[in-house]
Chain A
Amino acid sequence: DAKTTQPPSMDCAEGRAANLPCNHSTISGNEYVYWYRQIHSQGPQYIIHGLKNNETNEMASLIITEDRKSSTLILPHATLRDTAVYYCIVSVNNAGNMLTFGGGTRLMVKP
Chain B
Amino acid sequence: GAVVSQHPSWVICKSGTSVKIECRSLDFQATTMFWYRQFPKQSLMLMATSNEGSKATYEQGVEKDKFLINHASLTLSTLTVTSAHPEDSSFYICSARTVAGGNIQYFGAGTRLSVL
Contacts and interface: CB of A to CB of B under 8 A. Distances in A.
Given A46-B105, A96-B32, 13 more contacts: A38-B44, A43-B95, A43-B108, A44-B93, A46-B1, A46-B107, A49-B104, A87-B43, A93-B103, A95-B32, A98-B46, A100-B46, A102-B43
Contacts of A54: none
Interface string B33-46: 01010000001111
Interface of B: 1, 4, 6, 31-32, 34, 36, 43-46, 49, 51, 91, 93, 95, 97, 99, 102-110, 112
A94 B99 CA distance: 8
B110 A41 contact: yes
A44 B109 CA distance: 8
Which of A94, A95, A103 has the most B CB atoms < 10 Å from its CB? Answer: A95
Contacts of A41: 91, 110, 112
Contacts of B99: 95
Interface residues of A, number: 22
B103 A94 contact: yes
Contacts of A10: none
